[in-house]
A and B are shown apart, each in its own frame.
Chain A
C-alpha cells in the first residue's frame, strides 16, 4: 500500500492539536467522561474539531488552519471557553499538562473505537500508559521533499520545543525530577524515534510501502516519531511538545515553530546526518533538565544551555517575526526562558505551596480556565 499523495500547501500555515485531560472535580483524578462529553459537544457549534483519544479520560482539540498567531489564539480561546462552559455543566474539569500527576495507568479505559481497540490489542499495557498529553503542531509545506527536509532540519531544534513546553514533572504520584516525563512513555513504542534519513518523497513512499507490505504499518499515523510528514494535510507534524498549561502558550509554541520553518525554508541549511549523533542525548537532557539542559551542537561542536540557544534562535528569527507581526511572541519566549519558566516549574511551585498533587491539578484546571 502506498502513501496518499502529498497535498501541497502554498503558504506555511499553522494548526495545532491539543490532547487534554478530563478530571473529576472531587478528587482531581482523571475521569472517564470523554464519551459523554464528546456527545454533549457534538450538539453545539464549535470551531475546529473535537475528537476522542486513546483512553476515556482524554480528548483532542484540533484547530482550523491559520496564517497567523493571532487568529490561531483567538480560535483556541473560543474553543477553550466553550469547552470550559460545557465541562462545568457536567461538572468535570479540563486542564493542560503533559501527564496527569497521580493517575494510575492501569485504571484507564480504552476509548471504544476500532483504531484504539487495535492499538490496545497490539501494544497491551503500553496503550493505557499512553495516557499522556501532547501538543502537535502542523506547519504547511509546498511539497513532500520540503516536508522531509524540514523533518530533519527541525531535529536540531527538537530539544528547544521539549524544554519550552515541558509540563509533566510528576508521573504516577512521583516527582520524576524530569521536566518532561511524557517522552519516556512514548519511547517505549517500537515505531517511535525519528524518521529515516530519506530526503526525497518518492524514496519515502517506497520505504512506507516496504513497511506496509511487511505488515508493520497501515498508515502514517502508525509512526510515533517526534516529527513526521502528514501527506493528507500537506504538513509536517511536530509531536514532541507536552500540552502546555494554557492555550496562550500553545499558540506561542505554534508561532515559534512556524517562524522556524519559514526561516529554515528560506535559508535551506545543509543537512548533515551528524545531527543525529547527539539527538538522543540532547532529547534526554531537555526532558530531564528543561531549559537548563546543556545542548550539544554536533555540527558546530559546541555546548550551550538550551535557554541561551533559544534566545539565540529568537534573535535569528526576529526579522521574520517583524514580517509576520509577532515580535511580541519572541519577546514572551525570551522572557520566560530568561526566568527559566516553563510548565514544569509552575507545577512544582504549586505542589510545594499546597503539598498535595490533588491541589496541584486543581490549580491546573483553574489556570486552564482563566487561560492567562
Chain B
C-alpha cells in the first residue's frame, strides 16, 4: 500500500500557504464580530498562536518561502502609500507638511532621548527612534478599506502616514550604513549617498518605464493593474540586486505616479481583492514573528518607548492642527489613528541585522516587542478613530423605517375607513 500517505504528514509549502489564509480569514471574521477588534487583530492572533511564541506549530523558517509574497505585499503597500502623497494638497494646505514634520521630529527626538537615558548606544537609539517615526501604512490602509472609511480624518491619517514613512525611510536609509562599524567615513558617505539617491533615481526611472508602457497598452484597467503589479515586483527584485532600498524606490515610484503623470496616462488602480489576499498573509506572518518576551525582559524601556512615541505624535499633530482648520475632535482622532507600527518596522529591523548581525539583539527585542504591543493596541485605536469620526460605513436602521412607513399606511387606511 505504498500509494497511501505516510504519517506523520509534513505540510508542504502550498498547503501551508492555503492554511494560513484560511485560518486568517476565519479568525478575522470571528474577531470582527466582537465589534471592538478589527479583522487585523484576528490575522495577527492566528499568526501569534501558531508561531513559536505559543504553540510553535509554524516556525518563521517554515515560512521562508513566503518571503516573496511578503516582499510583494510590502512593495504594493509602499507604492500605494507613495500615491497618497499629493503635492497639490500639500501646496494648498501647508499645515499638513508642517504637522507631519513636527510629529515626526518630536517622535524621533523624544524616543531618541528616552532610549539614550536607558543607556542605549547613540546609533541604536537613533535607529529605534527612526523606526518609531513611521505609522504602519498596512494597518491604516487595511482598516480604512475594511470599514469603507472615507472622510477628512481618514484622508489626513493616510497622507500623514505617507509623510512620516517618507521621513523614516530617508532617515533609515541614511543611518543604515553607519551600522557597519569597520568602515571609513568616506566609504560611509558614498554608501549612504548611493542608497539614498540611487533609490530615488531608480524609483523615478521605474516611473518613466511605467509611463512608456502605459502609453502603449492604453487605459484599460486590467492592463494597467497587471502593469503596476509587474513593475512593483520587478522594482523589488532589481533594487535588491543592485543594493538599493526597495522600500524607498517603491515609495518614490508611488509619489511620481501621483504627482508627475501630467498627461494622465496612468489610471487610478485599486488593488482591491488581490491586496486583501496579500494583506492577510502579511499580517498572519507578522503575527508569527511577534515576540512578547521583551515585555518581561525590558518592561520599562518598551513601555517608555510606546508612551513617549504616542505622546510625541499627539503633541506634534496638536501643535499645528489649527493651520489645517481641524476641529479638536478631528485632531484627537488623527492622533489615535496614527498609533499602529508594524510590518515596515520589522522589515527595517531585519535590514539592520542583515547589515550587522552583532548589533541587533537589544534593538530587535525592543522593536519586536513594541511592534507586538502596538499591533494589539494600534489597529483597535485606528478602527476606533475612524468609527468615532463617523467615516466608517453607517448601518441604517431600516426596521425603524419600516415601522414608521407602516404607521403612515395604517393612518391612511383608517382615513379611508372613516370616509367609507
Could you tell me the distance between the alpha carbons of A27 and B258 in the complex, rounded to whole angstroms?
11
Judge whether B219 is part of the interface by a CB distance below 8 angstroms.
yes
Interface residue stretch chosen among B81-89, B131-139, B202-210, B358-366: B81-89
Judge whether A275 is part of the interface by a CB distance below 8 angstroms.
no
Contact between chains at A36 and B398 (CB < 8 Å):
no
Contact between chains at A215 and B415 (CB < 8 Å):
yes
Contact between chains at A31 and B267 (CB < 8 Å):
no
Judge whether A188 is part of the interface by a CB distance below 8 angstroms.
no
Q: A89-B325, A215-B415 are in contact. Are A122 and B401 (CB under 8 A)?
A: yes
| 0/1 string, A133-172, CB within 8 A of B gives 1 | 0000000000000000000000000000000000000000
Interface residue stretch chosen among A244-252, A297-305, A353-361: A353-361
With a CB–CB cut-off of 8 A, which chain A residues contact B92? 88-89, 91
With a CB–CB cut-off of 8 A, which chain B residues contact A24? 150
Judge whether B14 is part of the interface by a CB distance below 8 angstroms.
no
Contact between chains at A358 and B86 (CB < 8 Å):
no
Which single member of B84, B151, B155, B398 contacts A121 (CB below 8 Å)?
B398
| 0/1 string, A31-48, CB within 8 A of B gives 1 | 111011001100100000
Which single member of A91, A122, A354 contacts B88 (CB below 8 Å)?
A91
Judge whether B394 is part of the interface by a CB distance below 8 angstroms.
yes
The residue of chain A having its C-beta at the shortest distance from the C-beta of B221 within the complex is: A356
Contact between chains at B401 and A32 (CB < 8 Å):
no
How extensive is the interface on chain A, given as a class?
Answer: 35 or more
Shortest Cβ gap from B396 to chain A (Å): 6
Contact between chains at B404 and A121 (CB < 8 Å):
yes
Judge whether A100 is part of the interface by a CB distance below 8 angstroms.
no
* B306-353 interface (Cβ within 8 A of A): 324-325, 327, 330
Which single member of A27, A28, A40, A109 contacts B325 (CB below 8 Å)?
A40
With a CB–CB cut-off of 8 A, which chain B residues contact A32? 150-151, 391
Judge whether A107 is part of the interface by a CB distance below 8 angstroms.
yes
Which single member of A31, A40, A43 contacts B150 (CB below 8 Å)?
A31
Which single member of A39, A90, A110, A355 contacts B394 (CB below 8 Å)?
A110
Could you tell me the distance between the alpha carbons of A39 and B328 in the complex, rounded to whole angstroms?
13
| 0/1 string, B355-391, CB within 8 A of A gives 1 | 0000000000000000000000000000000000011
Could you tell me the distance between the alpha carbons of A233 and B393 in the complex, rounded to whole angstroms?
37
Judge whether B18 is part of the interface by a CB distance below 8 angstroms.
no
With a CB–CB cut-off of 8 A, which chain B residues contact A10? none
Contact between chains at A27 and B93 (CB < 8 Å):
no
Shortest Cβ gap from A148 to chain B (Å): 25
Contact between chains at A362 and B268 (CB < 8 Å):
no
Contact between chains at B150 and A355 (CB < 8 Å):
no
The residue of chain A having its C-beta at the shortest distance from the C-beta of B91 within the complex is: A88
Judge whether B264 is part of the interface by a CB distance below 8 angstroms.
yes
Which single member of A89, A118, A216 contacts B412 (CB below 8 Å)?
A216
Could you tell me the distance between the alpha carbons of A32 and B408 in the complex, rounded to whole angstroms?
31
Judge whether A25 is part of the interface by a CB distance below 8 angstroms.
yes
Which single member of B152, B264, B408, B412 contacts A362 (CB below 8 Å)?
B264
Judge whether B148 is part of the interface by a CB distance below 8 angstroms.
yes
* B239-271 interface (Cβ within 8 A of A): 258, 264, 267-268, 270
With a CB–CB cut-off of 8 A, which chain A residues contact B119? none
The residue of chain B having its C-beta at the shortest distance from the C-beta of A211 within the complex is: B412
Contact between chains at B152 and A355 (CB < 8 Å):
no
Judge whether B63 is part of the interface by a CB distance below 8 angstroms.
no
Q: A32-B391, A215-B408, A355-B219 are in contact. Are A120 and B89 (CB under 8 A)?
A: no
Which single member of B268, B327, B402, B415 contacts A27 (CB below 8 Å)?
B268
Judge whether B405 is part of the interface by a CB distance below 8 angstroms.
yes
With a CB–CB cut-off of 8 A, which chain A residues contact B276? none
Contact between chains at A91 and B155 (CB < 8 Å):
yes
Contact between chains at B88 and A26 (CB < 8 Å):
no
Could you tell me the distance between the alpha carbons of A124 and B412 in the complex, rounded to whole angstroms?
20
Could you tell me the distance between the alpha carbons of A36 and B415 in the complex, rounded to whole angstroms?
44
Contact between chains at A107 and B148 (CB < 8 Å):
yes
Q: A90-B93, A91-B92 are in contact. Are A213 and B415 (CB under 8 A)?
A: yes
Could you tell me the distance between the alpha carbons of A28 and B267 in the complex, rounded to whole angstroms?
11
Could you tell me the distance between the alpha carbons of A359 and B263 in the complex, rounded to whole angstroms?
10
Contact between chains at B152 and A36 (CB < 8 Å):
yes
Contact between chains at A118 and B404 (CB < 8 Å):
yes
Contact between chains at A124 and B219 (CB < 8 Å):
no
| 0/1 string, B394-420, CB within 8 A of A gives 1 | 101110111011001001100100000
Which single member of A26, A28, A33, A110 contacts B86 (CB below 8 Å)?
A26
Shortest Cβ gap from A295 to chain B (Å): 38
Shortest Cβ gap from B206 to chain A (Å): 20
Which single member of A117, A213, A359 contacts B264 (CB below 8 Å)?
A359
Q: Which among A107, A109, A213 has the highest number of chain B CB atoms within 10 Å?
A: A109
Could you tell me the distance between the alpha carbons of A39 and B396 in the complex, rounded to whole angstroms?
23
The residue of chain A having its C-beta at the shortest distance from the C-beta of B411 within the complex is: A215
Judge whether A214 is part of the interface by a CB distance below 8 angstroms.
yes
Which single member of B93, B218, B327 contacts A91 (CB below 8 Å)?
B93
Contact between chains at A122 and B151 (CB < 8 Å):
no
Contact between chains at B393 and A109 (CB < 8 Å):
yes
Shortest Cβ gap from B385 to chain A (Å): 15
Contact between chains at A214 and B415 (CB < 8 Å):
yes
Q: Give me 11 A-to-B residue pairs in the complex whose CB atoms sit less than 8 angstroms apart, sorted by A's number.
A: A27-B270, A31-B150, A32-B151, A33-B151, A36-B151, A36-B330, A40-B325, A121-B397, A121-B401, A122-B408, A354-B219
Knowing that A25-B89, A122-B404, A216-B408 touch, tell me 12 more A-B residue pairs with CB under 8 angstroms: A26-B86, A32-B391, A36-B151, A39-B327, A89-B324, A90-B152, A120-B396, A121-B397, A121-B401, A122-B408, A215-B411, A355-B218
Q: Which 9 A-B pairs have the closest CB atoms?
A: A121-B401, A91-B89, A215-B411, A27-B268, A36-B152, A88-B92, A215-B408, A32-B150, A355-B219
Q: Which residues of B contact A (CB under 8 A)?
A: 83-84, 86, 88-89, 92-93, 148, 150-152, 155, 218-219, 258, 264, 267-268, 270, 324-325, 327, 330, 390-391, 393-394, 396-398, 400-402, 404-405, 408, 411-412, 415
